Structure 1
Amino acid sequence: MKKMLLSLTALLPLMVLSGCNMVVFEPQGPVARSITELINWSLIWMLLVVAVVFGLFGYIVWKYRERPENKDYEPPEEHGSTLLEIIWTGIPILIVIALTIPTVKTLYALEETPKGYEEKEPITIHVTSADWKWIFSYPEEGIETVNYVNIPEDTPVLFKMTSASTMQSFWVPALGGQKYTMPKMETEMYLVADNPGSYEGQNTNFNGRGYADMKFEVLAQTQEDFDQWVDDVKETAPKLTEKEYEGLLKPTHLGRLTYSNTHLEWVNHADPNSKAYTNPELYRGHGYQGKTFEEDDNYKNENPNVIEGHGEEESHDSQENHGGGHHGH
């Protein structure tokens, strides 16, 4: 018993901490709260099952342990108990039902505008994942950003997601669950931020060595600040060209970039007939990661070196094409 207790004590922290992002339990929007409530409901049932199973295990081990007075005991042959078999078959069925019903209801609810925001007009943002960066397009505002996305607080945001290359997973733990982005397909997700704040998003799908650093910021702003940001970008951000965009899609890490137009003008990667932009020769056995900016944020930098790792000529072109005026937040 002592050895068993020591083993359980050692395994408990691993069970609690492995693969767990604690931000999930601090939801900052209605979508994330729905998911957290579902997780908590599931945890209650799992803890109940674990408590009963370990309780019965300990009781049986103790009650039927070998003792000096029963070493030669041979139990009589018995036929099974119909009542016990019904009980231990029925209980798991009831538990599965208790978990399935709220799970299905929550999953269907997440596909719609969050409850309480049905009357509020959502803004639409197209999300394009590429190795290893996130590209956000605002078709209504005529803005495109790389590796960060600004949204107004207390407003439903419809993300229309696709991929320019491999399959990735879009996840902002504080605001909602994860969904895959796939080339020549489109998935949708509604998110709402209750209050202004900065929230980290990331790619959770392994697609090469660069995926671990494929992160972005979601900045929730007041409506006034958001509108001011949109106006500033329209006035000062450079235009994105098709050639430059094709360079952005190569497998690299980038800093933050901002443009006063979107790549949707010439390509929508969700279209089944759209052009493929994969660059397999640059992966070098899935080991190529490119280089990163030295700065955390290239907000209004004059000459950020946007695309590195593809030779001196392309790096020089990138500096010319990505001149000043890039905005962060």
Structure 2
Amino acid sequence: MLDPQGPIGAGNRTILLNSLAVMLVIVIPTLVALLLFAWMFRASNRNARYDPEFTYSGRIELIVWSIPTLTILFLGGLIYYGSYHLDPRRPIASSQPPLDIQVVALDWKWLFLYPDQGVGTVNQLVIPAGVPVRFKLTSASVMNTFFVPQLGSMVYVMNGMQTEVNLQADREGDYLGLSAHFSGDGFSDMNFRVRAIPADAFASWASSLHSGGVLNASAYRELARQSINVPPSSFGHVQPGLFDAIVRQTLPPGPGPTEAAAGEAQLSPKAEPKAGTTPAAQQPKVGG
């Protein structure tokens, strides 16, 4: 988070550093005053002022109340900046149109759908550098958290609900994406790789996936089964309306990390279904 690679991540770092500065303005003088008072009023200092009748000082009251007042004002400014300028739904100002990506948290893997390109990936997120990305997110199981620390804005996702976050990678590179909310046995391996590549390379990458398998309702049900440490994979064709069907629960939610389901979890990546073994035309329609 202290090495941001996008405008939202940079804004998150600014809030962290500003909050730290505000706290240090209070903490450092307090620690210094503590040592100073301990030295001035030590038992061996016969010159220390002794005033047992003291009850009130206007100057001390002014200091005591002005410090927390100023602190609240500073923190209020930081909160305004964070809640307005870094609102997850606030579009990122750019001359480039945003790229839409739909995100589904599964047990225990991440599904990424590219509706405009008609492709999808598992545990691998590829985005064009310098282009805003508008994520629409949901969970197909228990509550989870989508987080790419260097890009910023951790967002919670819930089953049957849709949320949104706008992020951008300013430069090319590989970044860590992860689940930041405990969700059962496979939580520790529920990570994904974020690749920021040039815009022209992104178009070529999306086109190269079209020779892959099909992700339709039937394939999705197999994919939604619990599995741990799933290697990255891709789908060359994604049935339209799949994400909306997951949000509306037309496609049933996953079992979640229940005791019974945990015993049936697929502990080996080899148990993952092969994508695209059945044509989309032969599968049930998504939606309702």
- Could you report, residue by residue, the CA deviation over 1:44-76 in whole angstroms, capped at 9, with x for unpaired residues? 112222211111111112222222859xx9741
- Could you report, residue by residue, the CA deviation over 1:1-51 in whole angstroms, capped at 9, with x for unpaired residues? xxxxxxxxxxxxxxxxxxxxxxx1111111111111111111111222221
CA distance in 2, matches of 1:47, 1:130: 41
Which gives a bigger RCO, structure 1 or 2 (Cα 8 Å, sep 6+)? 2
Query: Is 1:41 the counterpart of 2:4 in the alignment?
Result: no
Letter in 2 for 1:251: Q
CA gap 1:279/1:285 in 2 versus in 1, 3 angstroms: closer
State the partner residue of 1:15. Answer: none
Deviation at 1:273, TM superposition (A): 5.2
Deviation at 1:281, TM superposition (A): 8.0
Map 1:180-219; keep pairs closer than 5 Å.
Answer: 180-219=156-195
Deviation at 1:160, TM superposition (A): 0.6
- Could you report, residue by residue, the CA deviation over 1:197-224 in whole angstroms, capped at 9, with x for unpaired residues? 1001111112223212211111001011
Tell whether the 8 Å contact from 1:238 to 1:260 is kept in structure 2 after alignment.
yes
CA gap 1:279/1:125 in 2 versus in 1, 3 angstroms: same
Query: Is 1:50 the counterpart of 2:32 in the alignment?
Result: no
Q: Which residue, 217, 222, 232 being the options, matches 1:242? A: 217
- The percent identity for this pair of structures is 29
State the partner residue of 1:278. Answer: 254
Tell whether the 8 Å contact from 1:255 to 1:292 is kept in structure 2 after alignment.
no
State the partner residue of 1:125. Answer: 101
After TM superposition, what 4+ stretches of structure 1 lie above 6 angstroms from structure 2? none
Query: Is 1:252 the counterpart of 2:230 in the alignment?
Result: no
Deviation at 1:265, TM superposition (A): 3.1
CA gap 1:77/1:286 in 2 versus in 1, 3 angstroms: farther
Query: Is 1:103 the counterpart of 2:73 in the alignment?
Result: no
State the partner residue of 2:67. Answer: 91
Deviation at 1:283, TM superposition (A): 4.1
State the partner residue of 1:60. Answer: 37
Aligned residues: 274
- Could you report, residue by residue, the CA deviation over 1:306-327 in whole angstroms, capped at 9, with x for unpaired residues? 52xxxxxxxxxx35x567xxxx
CA distance in 2, matches of 1:75, 1:229: 79
Tell whether the 8 Å contact from 1:137 to 1:263 is kept in structure 2 after alignment.
no
CA distance in 2, matches of 1:158, 1:186: 13
State the partner residue of 1:113. Answer: 91
CA distance in 1, matches of 2:23, 2:257: 47
Deviation at 1:275, TM superposition (A): 4.1
Please give the secondary structure, in 1, of the residue aligned with 2:177.
strand
Letter in 1 for 2:34: F
Please give the secondary structure, in 2, of the residue aligned with 1:268.
helix
Q: What do you get for the CA RMSD once the two structures are aligned?
A: 2.6
Query: Is 1:262 the counterpart of 2:244 in the alignment?
Result: no
Please give the secondary structure, in 2, of the residue aligned with 1:27.
coil
Please give the secondary structure, in 2, of the residue aligned with 1:184.
coil
Deviation at 1:152, TM superposition (A): 0.6
Q: TM-score, normalised by structure 1?
A: 0.76
Structure 1 gaps of 5+ residues are 1-23, 294-304, 308-317, 324-329
Structure 2 gaps of 5+ residues are 278-288
